[in-house]
Every structure is written in C-alpha cells, then in structure tokens.
Amino acid sequence: MNDAKNILSRSPQVIIKNVDKVFSSGDKEVIALKEINLTIYSGEFVVILGPSGCGKSTLLNAIAGFSLPTSGKVYANGEEVALPGPDRGMVFQEYALFPWMTVAENIAFGLEIKKLPKQTIREKVDTLLTKLQLLEFRDRFPKDLSGGMKQRVAIARVLALDPPMMLMDEPFGALDALTRRTMQDELLRIWLEFKKTIIFVTHGIEESIYLADRVVVMTYRPGTIKQIVPVELYRPRDVSSPQFISLQKELTSLVMEEQMRFRNEEMREPGRDVSEREENEQVT
Ligand SMILES: Nc1ncnc2c1ncn2[C@@H]1O[C@H](COP(=O)(O)OP(=O)(O)OP(=O)(O)O)[C@@H](O)[C@H]1O
Ligand SMILES: [Mg+2]
C-alpha cells in the first residue's frame, strides 16, 4: 500500500482556529481546550493522542458539533460548525447500535430517514454488508454479535450516509488485542477504498503509529497541542521495525510527561479514586 502523501496539494477539510473550551461545574472551571489551532486535509488520517482527561473527546465533539467551543471557531467542509451534520459521521466506542434492529436495519436507518427509495437502500446496504464482510450477519441482532462485528456494523452505518469524513472516539478501545488489530487493518482498507478523511481519538500509542498520517499529541489540562508527529512509514506498518519502535519511544516520552501531570493532579484532588482510573488509563 503506497501512501506517500503530499498534504500540501490537498484541500483543508477541517480548520480549527483558536479554540478554547471551558467547562464550569459549581465554583470549579476546567479548561478542557486552550488555543487549539489545527488544519486537517481531505483524505488524511489524523490521530489525536493523549492521556485520559486531556480533551480528546472534547475536541472531537467540537468538530462533530455536539459541543461547541467556548471561543474560537471550527470549520468543516467550508462551513462553520454549529450543529452535528451528515458530513461528519461519528463512531463511538460503545457502538451505539439500535438493539431492536437487525444488522441490515441498523445500516439502513440513516437512509430510511433520508427517505431514499427502497430499492436504493437495499442496494446500498447489500454493498456495505459485502464490503464489510457482514453478509451472513444481515438478519442478526446486535446482542448476537461480537464486539468487532458490532463495530463493523457501526462503521457501515456511518458509511451508508457517505460522509466525507469519519470521526472516531476510541472505537476499538473495548476490543481484545487481536480483534483490535484486525479492525485497524479493516479501517485502513475502508479509508483507502472509500477515500474518507478520518479523525481518530485514542490513548494507544502503538495504535496511533499504526494508523496515522499525523499524530496530534495533546497536553493534559489545559488541553493544548503539544506536538504534531508525522508518520511517514509505508503501510501495512511493521510494528517491529526500527523506525516504528523509534517513533514509539518518541511518542511514549511525550505522552508519559502528560500522563504524569494527570496522575499528579488526580492525587492532589481529594476524594478521587486514582487506582481505579489508572487501571483503565495505562499508556499502551
Ligand atoms: N460535560 C462536562 N462537564 C464538565 N467537565 C467536563 C465535561 N466534559 C469533559 N469535561 C472535562 O474536560 C476535560 C477533558 O475531557 P475529555 O472527555 O475531552 O477528555 P478525554 O481526553 O477524552 O479523556 P478520556 O481518554 O478519558 O476519554 C476533563 O477534565 C473532563 O473532566
Ligand atoms: Mg474521551
């Protein structure tokens, strides 16, 4: 897979300008994002990386239009983001499938809302079922699927609406290591075949290098961009290659600095159970 990219020749698809996001609860304020400036180009695979609480989801939600910045602006596909829109498909860790619908019905849902002709819906759903290797599961319900399968359905449901970009918030976080790798490969295939722009949130360092054209490393509180690390390795990437390992070391040290700040801050706040969160938030 040759993925030499010249992003300079591409058009900007998301422009984030001077974005701040402050959450207030009671007399406390949390500066979740501070002075974020970032441009993401069409067809790029960008990973947002950082420890728990550094503002990854807040940034993704600002792009998605779920939660707008306190100040600054986000533009997506040439328009200022004010609401969620069909041009920005979102995939969550929790799959967000309708349990009472079959796989095919879940994928068809957005197309039904758009009131497309029945025949068109059937054709689109069949194509996606085939491309995502879900054909034999078409009449199953989500409860009968594995985590990886559920996430495939969630991705197919987003692809059905053919958005130019997909926003993914730790989509493989709940999967075991082997299924996660399979899904990463599947996602890279989808990314190339469907020519999407992908903005992918994770706290997995290896995952970020395996997937990204550029890794955006965030600082912990306030959430700023600490560094943007380009990954110029051919795909499929060899996780045991010296270049991969060297990038892993570089990113680990960047993220560990922030992880330590997260840890210190949590320790300072009385009444918090650090040990339980730490278990989930180990740098991987
Ligand atoms: N609705 C909210 N109200 C108050 N504070 C919030 C809200 N949403 C997020 N925060 C705070 O903003 C900061 C950033 O949260 P965010 O969920 O974006 O982090 P994250 O990097 O996605 O973390 P994780 O890896 O745990 O998902 C955190 O300190 C969080 O507690
Ligand atoms: Mg999050």
What pLDDT does 9 receive? 66
34 Cβ below 6 A of ligand 1: no
* Ligand 1 pocket, residue 97 CB under 6 Å: no
Ligand 1 probe mutation, 22, 24, 30, 60, most atoms within 8 A of CB: 30
The model's pTM is 0.92
Residue 25, ligand 1, Cβ within 6 A: yes
CATH topology of domain 7-87+165-281: Rossmann fold (3.40.50)
Residue intervals of the chain classified under CATH 3.40.50.300 are 7-87+165-281
Residue by residue, pLDDT tens for the chain (284 residues) are 444 455 556 899 999 999 999 999 888 899 999 999 999 999 999 999 999 999 999 999 999 999 999 999 999 999 999 999 999 999 998 878 999 999 999 999 999 999 999 999 999 999 999 999 999 999 999 999 999 999 999 999 999 999 999 999 999 999 999 999 999 999 999 999 999 999 999 999 999 999 999 999 999 989 999 999 999 999 999 999 999 999 999 999 999 999 988 888 878 765 554 444 444 444 45
Specify the residue with its C-alpha closest to ligand 1, atom 29: 53
Give the residue, by CA position, lying nearest to ligand 1 atom 28.
Answer: 53
Give, in order, the Cα–Cα distances in Å from 63 to each of 25, 38, 85, 166. 23, 11, 10, 11
In whole angstroms, what is the distance from residue 160 CA to residue 79 CA? 22
CB 215 within 8 A of CB 47: yes
Is the beta carbon of 68 within 6 A of some atom in ligand 1? Answer: no
The pLDDT, as a whole number, for residue 282 is 47
Is the beta carbon of 203 within 6 A of some atom in ligand 1? yes
